[in-house]
Amino acid sequence: MKTHRETERSLCGPALRLPGFPPGEVWLVGAGPGDPGLLTLHAAHALEQADVVVHDALVDEAVLRLARPEAEVIFAGKRGGKPSASQPDITRRLIDLARAGKRVLRLKGGDPFVFGRGAEEARALVAAGVPFRVVPGITAGIGGLAYAGIPATARETNAAIAFVTGHASSGAVPDNVDWTALARSASVLVIYMAVKHLETIVGRLMKGGRSPDEPLAFICSATTARHRVVVSTLGAAVADRDAQGVEAPAIVVVGEVVRLREHLGAWWDPAGLMASGEMDAAAE
Ligand code: SAH
């Protein structure tokens, strides 16, 4: 007998069985960096079933368009300068909606557990006794690099990679990161939320021994119609950020892997895809 937890999907044929979305549950889902094709099957299936979608500012419009037309779509993000929902208000809302019997899709940019406060929300759901599921997503530091033609690792360049945030909840550069140790230990650094405090961050990395000539890239609005890559160096990054008008959201990647872009090229070009119609929805 088929239970409500098992529905068949036509996307990959009858062999694929994905769990149904029971009313009263919250699903904490990663939306990936932007391109809807980077959603997981679980995420796409959840969008088709959810009664309510509560999303962050980073979730691309092209992804939100995949929600059911009847679904209520609630923006719960933080947008620079404007008053935004507080974290306790967001979790309270998720809990209330679930208790009202809704299928609640909490959609977060990238992966919900990578610098996305998903852990805090999951803990609040556990404390409230609300059943939930976590659906990982492709984080911007992986998907964005790939679309920029920068491999996260390559045998000739790095055996380690570190994901770092350049922005603590206080708003400052996190002081629980040992930047000197990081500079010495991880040959490739993928830094989230680094645009604002770039000067401090690159300063600490160079102080920790990294060369000013080391390649660095900004990957802005990765995998969306606004996708843009600016290649620089550690020493020139601040000047290039200002001269080129680099804006958040952006991933900053530091390390020799950036040079591999010269070989891979800009294989993913949103302008070309728009011409072909593939990115029409995202460009609207
Ligand atoms: N959970 C998200 C990260 C949230 S923190 C993830 O896994 O990707 C917010 C930061 O993520 C942004 O400031 C930026 O550094 C990065 N980011 C998220 N989406 C991005 C995108 N499409 N392009 C570039 N950077 C992105």
Q: Which domains does the chain have, with CATH numbers?
A: 6-138 (3.40.1010.10), 141-267 (3.30.950.10)
Assess whether the previous peptide bond of 249 is cis (omega < 30° from 0). yes
Amino acid at 201: I
Is the Cβ atom of 116 under 6 angstroms away from ligand 1?
yes
Residue in 115, 145, 165 to alter for ligand 1 test, most ligand atoms within 8 A of Cβ: 115
222 CA closest ligand 1 atom index: 23
Rg (CA), the chain: 20
Alpha helices in the chain, H assignment, sequence order = 41-49, 61-64, 87-99, 118-128, 140-147, 179-185, 198-207, 237-244, 261-264, 270-276, 280-283
Candidates 51, 102, 193, 279; catalytic one: 193
Query: Distance from the CA of 108 to the center of ligand 1, in angstroms?
Result: 10
**In this structure, what are the phi and psi dihedrals at residue 216, rounded to the nearest 5 degrees?**
-145, 145
Q: What is the mean pLDDT of the chain?
A: 91
Does pLDDT of 113 surpass 90? Answer: yes
**In this structure, what are the phi and psi dihedrals at residue 192, rounded to the nearest 5 degrees?**
-90, 155
pLDDT at 269 (0 to 100) = 83
pLDDT at 12 (0 to 100) = 72
28 token code pair: 């904490």
Is the Cβ atom of 115 under 6 angstroms away from ligand 1?
yes
The question of whether 82 is a catalytic residue gets the answer no
Does pLDDT of 267 surpass 60? Answer: yes
205 token code pair: 């990395």
Instruction: Say how many CA atoms lie within 13 Å of 77 toward its Cβ.
Output: 15
Q: pTM of the entire structure?
A: 0.92
The question of whether 56 is a catalytic residue gets the answer yes
DSSP helix/strand/coil, 106: strand
209: left (phi over 0), alpha (psi -120 to 50) or beta: left
140 CA closest ligand 1 atom index: 8
Amino acid at 40: T
Residue in 63, 165, 190, 192 to alter for ligand 1 test, most ligand atoms within 8 A of Cβ: 192
Mean pLDDT within 38-51? 97
259 token code pair: 């040079």
pLDDT at 13 (0 to 100) = 75
Q: Give the model's confidence band at 11: pLDDT under 50 very low, under 70 low, under 90 confident, else very high.
A: low
Is the Cβ atom of 62 under 6 angstroms away from ligand 1?
no
pLDDT at 275 (0 to 100) = 63
Mean pLDDT within 88-102? 96
The question of whether 280 is a catalytic residue gets the answer no
Is the Cβ atom of 222 under 6 angstroms away from ligand 1?
yes
Contact at 8 Å (CB) between 29 and 106? Answer: yes
Instruction: Give the closest residue to 208 by CA, choosing from 164, 145, 264.
Output: 164
Is the Cβ atom of 31 under 6 angstroms away from ligand 1?
no
Mean pLDDT within 53-67? 96
Q: Give the model's confidence band at 262: pLDDT under 50 very low, under 70 low, under 90 confident, else very high.
A: very high
Is the Cβ atom of 232 under 6 angstroms away from ligand 1?
no
Does pLDDT of 44 surpass 70? Answer: yes
Mean pLDDT within 161-169? 93
pLDDT at 81 (0 to 100) = 53
